[in-house]
Each structure stands twice: as structure tokens, then as C-alpha cells.
A and B are shown apart, each in its own frame.
Chain A
Amino acid sequence: SQTIHQWPATLVQPVGSPLSLECTVEGTSNPNLYWYRQAAGRGLQLLFYSVGIGQISSEVPQNLSASRPQDRQFILSSKKLLLSDSGFYLCAWRSVRVDGYTFGSGTRLTVV
């Protein structure tokens, strides 16, 4: 069966520090992968998506970047965090054969 792993679950980081959030998918190949952010009291905003290794599409200009070094690995990064980067980050994958998305359990990032 397909599963998606996302870690860490919670993270508190100082302003200006780097960030690396990792997401991995098991049980599927060549998935479309996504990073979403949910700011406090707001909806979900698509940050990045990837349709293959090394292919990254950015939806909004921001302080973050994404990389896909392996087929089932998607990484969200920042060189220097801002207070506004705080939020709940969700990784998701979509199988090209199934019209549905599966989400990870999320990472709650607090920048202090």
C-alpha cells in the first residue's frame, strides 16, 4: 500500500536559521508531489509541486525552495527563516493513475 511520511512533526526555529523538511512516499513510483502551507487561521496555499526528479514548479514567490533529489523524496528548504514562514506544512502526493491526493500528517513550524 502507498504511504507518505513527513517529518519532523513539530519544529521551533529562530529567525535567520535554515530549514529542511523532508517528505517521502512509499509504494508508488513517479508520483506528483506537493508542498502546501496553512498559515494560522487561513486556508491551504500551494507552494511547490513536482512531476518528476529535479522538476520543481513554484506557485508563489517566497523565502522557500524545494528539491526532488529522488523519485519519492521531496524536500522543502530555506536558507534563512522569517517570522512569516511560521505555519503548518503539508506534503501530498498524487498518483497519475488515481484521481486523488494523499496528505502527510504535517509539520508545524514556529519561527521565533
Chain B
Amino acid sequence: GNSVTQMEGPVTLSEEAFLTINCTYTATGYPSLFWYVQYPGEGLQLLLKATKADDKGSNKGFEATYRKETTSFHLEKGSVQVSDSAVYFCALNEAAGNKLTFGGGTRVLVKP
């Protein structure tokens, strides 16, 4: 079956530091890949997505590249802000599937 593995947190950073959250996946076929963000006390928001190999999703300074050869979709941001403190979820949806499969989530805490 499909699965998503992402690095465990919490990740604690200082403001303006570089952020990487690793995500790897297992899937049959060619899934779409997503990063969702959950700010404290809120639901999930789509941060970015990529639908095919070598696509790069980007939003709010975050980027992730769909790497089929390494089955990875690592999230990066060059300079984090306190407002980026949240839980980040990597997820995949198989092209012919009806379900979104999530990783365990990574909590990020950015300190001023």
C-alpha cells in the first residue's frame, strides 16, 4: 500500500534559519505529492503540490521538488519566520485513487 514517511520533530530553529523537512514515499503508479500546514488550533491548509516527476511546488517561500528517482518530496525554506511555526504534513494521492495518505507530521518551532 501507499505510505509517507517524514522526519520526526520537533524541529526548533532561529528566525532566518534554513529549514528542510524530509519526506519520502512509497506508492504504486505516479502519485501527486502535497505539503499541508497546520497552524496552532487550526485545520490543514494546502501549502504546495507537485503532480509529476521533476515538478517544483512553491508557495510563501517554501519549495519542494518531486524526485521520482529517490521517491522524495523534501520541503525547504531559505529563511524562516516566527509565523512559520506550525505542523507540516507531507501527503500523496495516487492518480487513480480516492484517498490522501499523510505522513506523521513534523512540528516546527521558530524562535525569534
Contacts and interface: CB of A to CB of B under 8 A. Distances in A.
B43 A105 contact: yes
By secondary structure, the A interface counts as: strand
B102 A104 contact: no
B49 A100 contact: yes
Interface in A67-94: 90, 92, 94
Contacts of B42: 105-106
A67 B89 CA distance: 27
A83 B31 CA distance: 36
A51 B104 CA distance: 25
Contacts of A51: 98
Contact of B102 (A44, A102, A105, A106): A44
A23 to B, nearest CB: 11
B89 A100 contact: no
Scoring A36, A38, A90 by chain B CB atoms within 10 A of each residue's CB, the highest score goes to A38
Given A43-B89, A44-B89, A101 B46 contact: yes
B100 A101 contact: yes
A65 interface: no
Contacts of A105: 42-43
B49 A43 contact: no
Interface in B67-112: 89, 93, 98-105
B3 to A, nearest CB: 11
Interface string A23-46: 000000000101010100011101
A59 B98 CA distance: 12
B103 A49 contact: no
B45 interface: yes
A99 B43 contact: no
B17 interface: no
Contacts of B102: 36, 43-44, 46
A92 B104 contact: no
Given A46-B100, A100-B49, 5 more contacts: A36-B102, A43-B102, A51-B98, A90-B44, A100-B46
9 A-B pairs with least C-beta separation: A43-B104, A44-B102, A103-B44, A106-B43, A105-B43, A103-B43, A43-B105, A99-B32, A101-B100
